[in-house]
Amino acid sequence: MTAPATAPVGDRLGVRVLGDAAPLLGLALRRNPKRAQLLVSRVLGKHVPTDPRLVRATGLLLGGLADDVLADRPARELPVDLLHRAVAGDPVSAQALHTDAQRSVGPTADAVVLGFAETATALGHCVAEGLGGATYLHSTRRLVPGIAPAGGFTEEHSHATDHLLLPHDPAILTDGRPLVLVDDELSTGRTVLNTITALHALAPRERYVVASLVDVRPPGTELVDGVRALGARLDVVSLARAAVELPVDVTARAAALRAEIDAHTTVGPETAPPGSPLGRTPSPTRAQPDPRLMLAELGWPVTLPAGGRHGFSPADHRALDSTLPELAAGLARAADLRPGERTLVLGTEELMALPLRLAQTLADAGLDVAFSTTSRSPAVVVDEPGYALRSGLTFPAHDDPDDGPGPRFAYNVEQGWDHVLVVVDPPADTPLLRSGLLATLAPHTRRTTVVITP
C-alpha cells in the first residue's frame, strides 16, 4: 500500500537504531501486540531479496568470530567497509566479501551449532561452516513422524513461539561439547537464556557461545549472569552492536499506526491483513502448472540430508561442498536459467540453508541471482522510501502445519523477476502450494520453477 501523506512511518513510531549495526538493519511495524517494531536484516535473506554471496559471507564471518572466542584468541578484524559496500548493493564487493570469508575458515571446531527457526536456519548453517564444518542442528516448528523430540523451548516475543529439537542422534545435545547458539538478532537475551536453561537441565555443559548478526541488547549482564548461575561460561559475538531507542508509548503508537495504515489499504490477495478471507484464498492465475524439478534426479547424494533439522555432520558439510557445483550446474540447465536474466531463489519458511547454497553457487557461476525466503511473521507493508517492507504477498500455508492453517508471507519480492525458483521439501509440495504461493507470485515473474528437495 501507499502510506498516508504524513511523516514517515519510522519517524512516527519513534524507534531509532544507533550504532555500528544501523547500516545492516531496516525498520518495519510488526503485526504482533507483544512487540511494536521489526528490525529487518539487510544481510539475512529473509525479508529482503539479497545477494546470496553476501548472506553466506556474513554467516561465515560470524562463525569465524565464534571460532576465535572458543579458541580464547583475540577477535579477528572484520572487513567493515567491504561489508557496507556489499550491503549497499555492490555485487563486486559481495563477491569479494564472500571470497575473503571463505579463505578465513579454519579446521573443524569441536563444537555443536544450534540455529533458531525460522529466521536463523541458514545463518546457523553458515556459522557452522565458518567453524570449519562443525556439527549443526536447527530447531523446528514441524513435528516429523518417527523422530521423537529431544527437547524444546519457547520464544516469548515471536509470532510462532514453540521450538522443537529433533536430532536423529540425541548425543548432539548431550555430549558436553561447547554449544554455539545462532540467531539473527540478539534483542533481550530471554530466548537464548530460556534455551540454555532448558538444554542445561537436559545435559549440563561448561561452555556456551551466542552468535548473532547484530546485538541490540540494552546495557546490563542479565544474560551472562543467568548462564553463570547455571555453572557455565557464556561468550557473545556479533558482527555489529547497536542501541534501539524506544519511546515509552511505542506499543500505543504502533497500534495507532497499524490502524491508520490498514484504513488506507486497498485489500486484495497480496495486501490483505492476516486472517482476511482474501488473504487466505488467492485464486490461481496460471493455466499450466509450473515446471517441477527434483534434486534427487539431478544428482543429490542419497545419504546427504537436505538440511539441519535432524542434524548435519562435518562429513555432510564436505559432501555438500563437493556436490553443489555439479548439482547447481544441472539445475541451471534443467530450469533453463539464462545469463542476463534476474532470478530469485525463494526458500520456504525454515527451508533456508539449501536454497541459499544453491543461489550462492549459481551466483558464483555468473548468474544474476538474489535469495529470499517466505515467512510466518505478519508485518505491515508500506510503499514508502526508507521503510523496510515496501511490498508483501499473502498466501495460505501449504505444508499442513501442526499448529493449523494460517497465512504466510513473502516480502519485497514484487520486483518483476525473469525467473523465480521456489524451493520446497516434499511435505510442502501440495495443491495449496500451486493455488497459493505460486499463483500469488505469478504476476511478478515471467517464469516459475518449483525445486523439490529430497
CATH of the domain at 120: 3.40.50.2020
Per-residue cell: 281: 484464498
| Band of residue 438 on the pLDDT scale cut at 50, 70, 90 | very high
Are 147 and 290 contained in the same domain? no
Are 238 and 374 contained in the same domain? no
Q: Does 405 fall in a domain?
A: yes
CATH of the domain at 362: 3.40.50
Q: Does 418 fall in a domain?
A: yes
H helix or E strand, kind and range, residue 126: helix 121-130
Q: Does 268 fall in a domain?
A: no
Q: What is the DSSP string of 371-414?
A: EEE-BS--B-----TT-S---EEEEE--S--TT---EEEEES--
Are 161 and 287 contained in the same domain? no
Taking only the tens place, the pLDDT of each residue in 371-382 is 999 999 999 999
Dist. CA 16–CA 22, nearest whole Å: 9
Q: Does 2 fall in a domain?
A: no
Dist. CA 65–CA 76, nearest whole Å: 7
Dist. CA 139–CA 131, nearest whole Å: 19
Q: Does 269 fall in a domain?
A: no
pLDDT at residue 278 is higher than 50: no
Q: Does 33 fall in a domain?
A: yes
Q: Does 328 fall in a domain?
A: yes
Dist. CA 110–CA 115, nearest whole Å: 17
- The arithmetic mean of pLDDT across residues 342-361, rounded, is 97
Q: What percent of the chain has pLDDT over 70?
A: 91
φ, ψ dihedrals at 252, nearest 5° = -65, -40
pLDDT at 6: 60
Among left, alpha and beta (phi > 0; psi -120 to 50; other), residue 218 is beta
Are 258 and 354 contained in the same domain? no
Q: What's the number of domains the chain is made of?
A: 3
- The arithmetic mean of pLDDT across residues 312-323, rounded, is 98
pTM: 0.92
H helix or E strand, kind and range, residue 357: helix 353-364
Are 61 and 23 contained in the same domain? no
Q: Which residue has better confidence, 199 or 149?
A: 199
Are 313 and 434 contained in the same domain? yes
Are 349 and 435 contained in the same domain? yes
Per-residue cell: 190: 530471554
Give yes or no for a contact between 331 and 287, defined as CB atoms under 8 angstroms apart. no
Are 157 and 122 contained in the same domain? yes
Nearest-10 Cα torsion for 96, 350, 116, 146: -130
Q: Does 272 fall in a domain?
A: no
pLDDT at 354: 98
CB neighbours of residue 242 within 10 Å? 21
pLDDT at 149: 79
Are 99 and 170 contained in the same domain? yes
Of 193, 228, 263, which residue is a domain's last?
Answer: 263
Dist. CA 7–CA 52, nearest whole Å: 34
Are 115 and 34 contained in the same domain? no
Are 310 and 232 contained in the same domain? no
Q: What is the DSSP string of 118-167?
A: TTTHHHHHHHHHHTTS-EEEE-BSS--TT----EEEE-TTSSS-EEEE--
Structural domain harbouring 431: 277-452
Dist. CA 323–CA 198, nearest whole Å: 36
Question: What does pLDDT average to over the chain?
Answer: 90
Taking only the tens place, the pLDDT of each residue in 50-82 is 999 999 999 999 999 999 999 999 999 999 999
What 3-state class would DSSP assign to 283?
coil
pLDDT at 21: 87
Are 353 and 415 contained in the same domain? yes
